Structure 1
Amino acid sequence: MISRRQFSLLAVGIGLTLAAPASAADFELIQPGKLLVATQGTFAPFSMRGPDGELDGLEIRVVKEIARRLKLEYTPVITQFDAALVGLLSGQYDMTSVSMDITAARQKQVTFADGWLASGAMILTRKTTGIRTGDDLKGKNVGAVAASTFGKIAEQSGATLKSYKAEVDAVQDLVNDNLDAVVTDAVAANYAIKARKLPLVTGEGTLSQVQKGFAIQKGKPNLTKAINGALADMIADGTYARLTTDLIGFDPHPKEPIRSEL
């Protein structure tokens, strides 16, 4: 038998427990207190090395802020794009932040957090090639990152595809006249020309309209909901716009994000 005062204190304690934020364990993490995130580190402006050698980029800034808001330690795991989903499904990290398009096929394998960036596929080429549209890719030697949607678009356009582990290598081959064009992300294409002052041009418009998503292993609803909540708060208070606009000059958040399938 407990006294009325003891009961009141117990009730308050229960209320505080229910109102408290979820612990690291509740996020279904591989390592308590840490958010293990797969990234490339070679795909500017999404993930790259800054002048000080530290990771920077759109995805790095956004996920670091998500981790901070969830009171977790952001822990990057460097991987190649074509190995990102394999590593996720085998439990090597909690999520991916590689510049991954949300597609129906991928949604069968993983859960995506709400779409965090709107973009599309774009042609990157030299001024002298005359390549401007998807139709112009037919019969051309075109580079794209392995396992990306960009390679599929190039092949569907009738191009001879050469796959690369890193987009920077494909762009370098293009500059060196070893390719006729590269199909890549529109944000990345424009950033490459402006930031790196490359002697390249983009095609006319985009070849697709896509949204990028952070991939999470299926069966982790708490982690997915926590990431979505932190992302929504960032957008609402202007932090997302500040972090991204500072790097690329505009806010790339989708007007109508693709929502998580939970």
Structure 2
Amino acid sequence: MSIPLLPTRRLAAMAIAAAFLLSTFGAGAKAADLELITPGELSAATEGTYPPFSMYGTDGKLDGLEIRVMGEIARRLGLTYRPVIIKWDSLLIGLKADQYDTASDAMDITPERQKQVTFVDGWLQSGGRLVVKADSPIKSGADMKGKTIGVLVASTWEKLATGLGANVKTYKAETDGIQDLVNGNVDGVITDSISAAYTIKASHLPLRMTDDYLSQIQKGFPIKLGKPNLVKAMNKALADMIADGTYAKLTSALIGYSPAPKDPIRSQL
């Protein structure tokens, strides 16, 4: 019994597809083997309340740095992108419980968290800044000793504030902390420099940031341990969109520049 030969054009297409899958996922992995909770769908946790990372536009749709970047990653992988709204303090709990595949929320890559999850290569570089009222006598982070400083609960900002001798007040959403600052209920708020600059500019608030950075960090997309194929696929999609300029276009439209790390923290696989 003879086996019919495939047309040359089809063989070439199959060869190209095979080469793409090999370079994307590594030897031995299949295109469908992305370790997704729901095949064909990339679900990612986000708060939706942390401008300019995630927020609702006037049209009622989710937008923001993380939403745009994660959406583009899903598109390049041929997946449907499904944001999952969740509170910050439940984010890692839900990830480990397979409630979503990853989280786009602006999470700092730290040694402690690297023991709990696998991060995609760092996708954004920023740092902690102290936000105060425009007429505040506070000039730098060193001046917050004895002052009441607002921070996001369970965040790295809490450790920074405590280490500098501040009295810490925690919030479930950083927007609540900023509002408390405007109302005079706290002396300052520690938040991400990108978020702070966007909020002050977009809302025309009588606030300013001190000149010094309290930290320099990279943010990453966490994935539950034991999903190397998904990590590799997202890494390649992210690297490609940075290389071809898509990342810069998506992010610059919101904050005026590309925050892509020059030397991203690599995934620990």
Q: Confirm or deny a common fold (TM above 0.5).
A: yes
What RMSD in Å do the two structures reach over aligned CA positions?
A: 2.0
Aligned equivalent of 2:45: 38
Report the residue type matching 2:229 in the other structure.
N
Q: What are structure 1's unaligned runs of at least 5 residues?
A: none
Please show how residues 55-134 of structure 1 align to structure 2 within 5 Å: 55-134=62-141
Among residues 191, 213, 231, which one is paired with 1:184 in the alignment?
191
Deviation at 1:147, TM superposition (A): 1.0
Aligned equivalent of 1:209: 216
Report the 3-state secondary structure (helix = DSSP H, G, I; strand = E; otherwise coil) of the residue aligned with 1:216: strand
Report the 3-state secondary structure (helix = DSSP H, G, I; strand = E; otherwise coil) of the residue aligned with 2:108: coil
d(CA) in 1 for partners of 2:61 and 2:6? 51
Deviant stretches of 4+, over 3 Å: 5-9, 12-25
**Deviations, residues 75-104 of structure 1 (Å, cap 9, x unaligned):** 010011121111111111000111100000
**Deviations, residues 31-79 of structure 1 (Å, cap 9, x unaligned):** 1111010001000000001110100000000000000010111001001
Paired positions, count: 259
Moved more, 90-99 or 131-140: 131-140
d(CA) in 1 for partners of 2:84 and 2:17? 33
d(CA) in 2 for partners of 1:250 and 1:199? 24
Q: What are structure 2's unaligned runs of at least 5 residues?
A: none
Report the residue type matching 2:186 in the other structure.
L
d(CA) in 1 for partners of 2:244 and 2:76? 13
**Deviations, residues 155-186 of structure 1 (Å, cap 9, x unaligned):** 11111111111010000000000000000000
d(CA) in 2 for partners of 1:30 and 1:73? 12
d(CA) in 2 for partners of 1:8 and 1:72? 29
Report the 3-state secondary structure (helix = DSSP H, G, I; strand = E; otherwise coil) of the residue aligned with 1:35: strand
Among residues 218, 227, 232, which one is paired with 2:225 in the alignment?
218
Among residues 249, 252, 261, which one is paired with 2:256 in the alignment?
249
Deviation at 1:16, TM superposition (A): 7.1
What's the TM-score once normalised by structure 2's chain length? 0.91
What's the TM-score once normalised by structure 1's chain length? 0.93
